[in-house]
């Protein structure tokens, strides 16, 4: 069976440099070098349980200063010698029987895992990343749908506003004023709301004209009812019943109706005895 590899790393707490021992080392002239050397010793002894020694068969050969200088490469003999003495006094390393130096609290300083454990960990990390990507993808999809729905709602709002803006308020009120002889304003909010409500129900401009014509024929000469020839009454909830009222009035344009109404009035007036040709002239 193939021997599994093992991986090691240094575990540093967030307050590592705030510890009194580390702070003291940093205060020394070569303090930064001492810290780096200490960390390198932790790594170099990671697969040896923190022992600064080489095992040759049954024989244990402790590290000496020259060995450490060779292994660490970047430090002089004097720097290593002074550092080891400081490490021992500060309790960072200690000496076992046989003059073997060992890293104190080795298990707290160095972590390790086998190659199989590494594969399992990496697999779990990939699965977690895939899940995160799936969640992000779903989240992005939900956002796209939300944005699409908002866009549709905005388009509908724009369409409604456009329709409201393009409704023939003025044309309807002008037709009413011309037919009845009134002076209603097309800018009145109440009037516009009534007209908009009827258009929302599916009625057309021609329907408004027909209602105006029918009710004018019916109420104009009635002193009591003519006061109801107003937007509030004509364009209210009874609009449909007015439109379907059987009065044999055909849809016509405003000029034809006004002319027709005018000439009807002339013909009616000529039936009175006091109305003669001289009066007309």
> What CATH number is associated with residue 79?
1.10.10.10
Q: Is residue 196 in some structural domain?
A: yes
In percent, the amount of the chain with pLDDT more than 70 equals 74
Mean pLDDT score, 52-74: 89
pLDDT score of 251: 47
Q: Is residue 124 in some structural domain?
A: no
Is residue 191 domain-shared with residue 262, that is, in the same domain? yes
pTM: 0.40
**What six digits make up the tokens of 178?**
């011309």
Most confidently modeled of 54-68, 91-105, 226-240?
226-240
Number of domains in the chain: 2
Q: Is residue 205 in some structural domain?
A: yes
Q: Is residue 173 in some structural domain?
A: yes
Q: Is residue 11 in some structural domain?
A: yes
pLDDT score of 240: 94
Q: Is residue 141 in some structural domain?
A: no
Domain boundary, last residue among 114, 129, 152: 114
Q: Is residue 258 in some structural domain?
A: yes
Mean pLDDT score, 152-173: 72
Q: Is residue 159 in some structural domain?
A: no
Inform me whether the pLDDT recorded for 244 exceeds 60.
yes
Tell me the C-alpha distance between 255 and 200, whole Å.
Answer: 27
Is residue 177 domain-shared with residue 269, that is, in the same domain? yes
Tell me the C-alpha distance between 27 and 112, whole Å.
Answer: 31
pLDDT score of 165: 66
Domain boundary, last residue among 86, 114, 142: 114
**How far is residue 222 from each of residues 132, 145, 208, 231, measured CA to CA in Å?**
79, 60, 21, 18
Mean pLDDT score, 157-185: 82
- 165 HSE (CA, 13 A, CB side): 6
**Domain boundaries, position 173:** 166-280
């Amino acid at each position: 069976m193939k021997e599994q590899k093992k991986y090691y790393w240094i575990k540093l707490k967030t307050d590592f440099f705030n510890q009194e021992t580390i702070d003291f080392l940093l205060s020394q002239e070569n303090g930064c070098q001492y810290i780096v050397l200490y960390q390198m010793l932790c790594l170099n002894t990671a697969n040896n349980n923190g022992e600064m020694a080489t095992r040759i068969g049954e024989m244990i050969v402790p590290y000496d200063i020259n060995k450490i200088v060779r292994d660490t490469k970047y430090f002089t003999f004097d720097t290593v010698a002074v550092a080891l003495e400081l490490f021992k006094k500060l309790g960072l390393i200690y000496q076992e029987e046989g003059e073997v130096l060992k890293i104190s609290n080795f298990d707290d300083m160095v972590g390790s895992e086998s190659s199989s454990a590494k594969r399992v960990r990496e697999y779990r990390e990939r699965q977690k990343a895939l899940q995160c990507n799936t969640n992000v993808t779903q989240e992005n999809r939900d956002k796209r749908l939300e944005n699409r729905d908002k866009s549709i709602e905005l388009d509908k709002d724009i369409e409604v506003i456009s329709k409201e803006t393009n409704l023939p308020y003025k044309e309807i009120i002008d037709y009413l004023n011309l037919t009845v002889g009134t002076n209603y304003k097309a800018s009145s909010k109440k009037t516009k709301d009534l007209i908009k409500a009827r258009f929302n129900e599916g009625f057309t401009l021609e329907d408004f004209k027909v209602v105006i014509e029918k009710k004018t024929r019916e109420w104009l000469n009635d002193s009591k009812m003519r006061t109801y020839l107003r937007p509030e009454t004509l364009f209210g909830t009874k609009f449909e019943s007015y439109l379907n009222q059987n009065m044999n009035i055909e849809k016509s344009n405003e000029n034809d109706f006004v002319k027709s109404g005018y000439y009807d009035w002339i013909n009616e007036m000529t039936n009175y005895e006091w109305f003669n040709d001289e009066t007309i002239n």
